[in-house]
Structure 1
């Protein structure tokens, strides 16, 4: 916090104040809606939006991150707790806070141990698939609330709820698509127009509350949030000793997703701010503290919200003071009389949730992956399908497993190119891509990956295939310019290859070995057993082995195999 507080300038204050007010207006309906998604009373969504951003401001490194309830994390919370307790009961609320506590401790521990790099094992296509699947699940789950009853044949429609819910949905969709352009045509500044369109939900909510009061819709059967307790949340230390073990694995998964979602939004906004520096391990600490704070005030797991953070940025936020102002205003809303919040109709809240999550259905990643890399596209679709068919947690595990499978599959089949010399130069290129010259008796192969236990057999098999295809080869040169590491299994594989080639009368040479790799090879027996030489470059190997040494090339450039 001191990093942005010490150099704080008065010029930044107006932007922070305006952003704090705007996000607070957005947060009231959104926080209550996401609490409903989590299976909790609407007021809990506001509780989870007060202390968490204050704690994140102490440790987090993003100046525009808005921490609080978020749709996907709310869905994961509901899917975790539903088998353990009935939504709306006291035990359910205790378990929600306990889940936030465990998730926070996991994040805090990861930050202190500096293992934020683990998030890199979740590929962007898999993350996109998870988001798409979750958005569909959330939207489908809100249809019952939107129309005021179950979606079943033979059921009598509840028209007041349907008209209010569908009407709110239409207005929100129209505002999402057309309000900002309309405001720009009315000569409203572009930034203000974008913020205004983001505040459409609060206008729709206020309008729906007015209709509920004026038309007596509660008496007609339209469900509302009900009474919201006045006052700030108290200190919550309640836990269930019987459920720690059941909540541990979901807490690990939720903590992982909290970090991924938060970092993706923070990085996008950091680029807009001109390369703001984010420290992943401090982000883990900040998010961990935020979730612990949510647990201690009766909340549920929270994360950085991309939509709210974007509004925060567009509204002029310069520092985390904007989020602290938002938290203060939300606390003030609870201190003042809260009777007006009881009139908030649930069909309108459902419409707000549906519109918010439909904005997460971004298919651009799928289109790009489909044309660029089908394996990534299939991983995306499988993750989305896993979320829809197997549930949120299973969908995440499917995504992580697929990411690892694709990574291992690619690493186990490295690209190997037959090299030839570009005429009149010292450049060597793949003969399948360039018009490059080769010479009888000399085969030059470039391995484009590190060598390890998972791919050494495949590399040796490919070398054997090339030797069969290039009958009469006397010299095999392995160009290792793209090899960053050789593990023990690969080392033994190369020694076996060298022995096999020696029996067949083929000399094996190495060229362009990187320094760190050479340092490791010096500690092995391979260089002493190598039946060929180690060359500084592919060009020197060509000159010496093809019998056409370039004028002026010193013979010393070819190192004896046993003296690297």
Structure 2
């Protein structure tokens, strides 16, 4: 029993005991491909977060290993991602100046807080909280963030010193500084961007036409950013372009991740608490969505609560080894999956590859132009931008459209923190609004069957002595009064009415406020000479009702089925006078 519990809490003991040579081979190939992809990407995302490039590498080493031990997804690749990097920059930019020691310490502290929050959520099994973020709102936030990220990197492409946290601020600052554009930097950045777009869309088909095998074509395509890094670095070095104003990465420490200590200052912890919570939720939602998608393709499953523990451990690892907040990335996880990763060990092998790069390759990127890293970010994040979510939600649900549009506009206009906060608030308010006005239908018997359907949608049999109301939502404090008002409005003026039946087939919960409303309805109808009945009440709901006095005071009965209620209280015939026609 202890062994089973240990395997649930530390999944490496589950998959590790059956690890074999075939899995090792596939994991190694996947690790090589992902490592090639991650080297320039890690450097670029650290730049996006306003941190030194090596912190991107550090955040991609121990966190990957810790996730491999504690995570449940066999393909998820953990590390810095674009949206979290942008949120990190927005959060710590308010407490320290970019490039300062305090800025780096704030990043470590943010990772520690995020890790602690995720870990606590996992221990207390609070993964369900992420469900309060609707998918359309998340899609809107990521789209807006992609636009902000791309806009924030244009200053590196132009070689100017622009700034800003909102889209308007960025564009205005860029417009002001456009005359200062470094043409050589623009040429490098523009060429790198064009090349990377071509690599993403056109290189693999070209290689396949030339007869290159699919796996090799995949590796070469994923190495496209590395080729851009090598070519532009050599160009800057060979022609001395750093002396001509081209911004370069400069000296990067040649070492393994150092042991670092975040700040425990109460003021800093309090300032970063809310951003850490938002980063944790957004990171978890993105990570678990990718993990579930990839797991389903191989008929595997993940444990969301254990994923919280895995991601929490990864972030704590980043905090104490010179990194910043991390999560599971969509692009690298898909690459990891497509490359044939069998187990989380592929991530551990990737970490080894990145550790070798941190020790042996960092001197080689001294002349790497920041414009190339900016191009890498722009090409990566533009794939996240999907404004079609606006047209899809407009056609399907105007309420969802308003939530998505508000999230996009607030993120672009006021920054990522307000945008994601608004997204969370809008998701919750939208849920409360929808459930506070539940779908309630008056139903009748479909002729020749025992089924009941909406009188406004079907030709059904009804009786003037009986009204059956189907409630398509659980009853709780937000919608209890709505049900009261609906019933009172329906029964007023109906002199022949003797019975009201609440059909509860869709009711999964009745809270205390709703119970009090049911008691009020029962007494009000009794005063009007009308009996209240229930039908098709679910077992857990009935168990709770039995703990109260409601069933003892109920003027009517509780029926097992609505058909049984109809036959007992007011049998109907197929006579024309009892048929309610379909409303036009």
Q: TM-score range by the shorter chain?
A: over 0.9
1:418 to 442, 450, 474: 442
Q: CA RMSD in A?
A: 1.9
1:469–1:124: structure 2 CA closer, same or farther, 3 Å change rule?
farther
- Secondary structure, aligned partner of 1:152: helix
- Secondary structure, aligned partner of 1:88: coil
2:158 to 147, 163, 167: 147
Q: Note the C-alpha offset of 1:427.
A: 1.2
2:296 to 263, 266, 271: 271
- Secondary structure, aligned partner of 1:406: helix
1:281–1:547: structure 2 CA closer, same or farther, 3 Å change rule?
closer
Q: Which residue of 1 aligns with 2:396?
A: 372
Q: Note the C-alpha offset of 1:190.
A: 4.5
Q: Note the C-alpha offset of 1:75.
A: 0.8
The residue correspondences of 1:71-86 to structure 2 (distance < 5 A) are: 71-86=82-97
Q: Which residue of 1 aligns with 2:274?
A: 249
Contact conserved, 1:20 with 1:312, CA < 8 A, in 2? yes
Does residue 299 of structure 2 align to residue 291 of structure 1? Answer: no
Q: Note the C-alpha offset of 1:515.
A: 1.8
Contact conserved, 1:195 with 1:314, CA < 8 A, in 2? no
1:536–1:339: structure 2 CA closer, same or farther, 3 Å change rule?
closer
In structure 2, list runs of 5 or more residues that go unmatched. 1-11, 163-173, 575-584
TM-score with structure 1 setting the length: 0.93
1:129–1:191: structure 2 CA closer, same or farther, 3 Å change rule?
farther
Q: Which residue of 1 aligns with 2:7?
A: none
1:440 to 464, 482, 495: 464
Does residue 379 of structure 2 align to residue 345 of structure 1? Answer: no
Q: Which residue of 2 aligns with 1:260?
A: 285
Q: Which residue of 2 aligns with 1:174?
A: 198
The alignment covers a number of residue pairs equal to 549
In 2, the alpha carbon distance for the partners of 1:422 and 1:352 equals: 62
Q: Which residue of 2 aligns with 1:489?
A: 513
Q: Which residue of 1 aligns with 2:112?
A: 101
In 1, the alpha carbon distance for the partners of 2:390 and 2:467 equals: 41
1:548–1:109: structure 2 CA closer, same or farther, 3 Å change rule?
closer
In 2, the alpha carbon distance for the partners of 1:81 and 1:350 equals: 20
Does residue 62 of structure 2 align to residue 39 of structure 1? Answer: no
1:17–1:469: structure 2 CA closer, same or farther, 3 Å change rule?
farther
- Secondary structure, aligned partner of 1:418: strand
Contact conserved, 1:192 with 1:315, CA < 8 A, in 2? no
Q: Note the C-alpha offset of 1:448.
A: 1.1
Q: Note the C-alpha offset of 1:528.
A: 2.3
Does residue 551 of structure 2 align to residue 527 of structure 1? Answer: yes
Contact conserved, 1:15 with 1:317, CA < 8 A, in 2? yes
In structure 1, list runs of 5 or more residues that go unmatched. 551-564
1:389 to 413, 434, 439: 413
In 2, the alpha carbon distance for the partners of 1:42 and 1:471 equals: 79
TM-score with structure 2 setting the length: 0.90
1:45–1:421: structure 2 CA closer, same or farther, 3 Å change rule?
same
1:503 to 527, 536, 554: 527
Q: Note the C-alpha offset of 1:29.
A: 0.7
In 2, the alpha carbon distance for the partners of 1:456 and 1:194 equals: 57
In 2, the alpha carbon distance for the partners of 1:146 and 1:469 equals: 73
1:545 to 569, 572, 578: 569
In 1, the alpha carbon distance for the partners of 2:112 and 2:195 equals: 38
Q: Note the C-alpha offset of 1:530.
A: 2.2
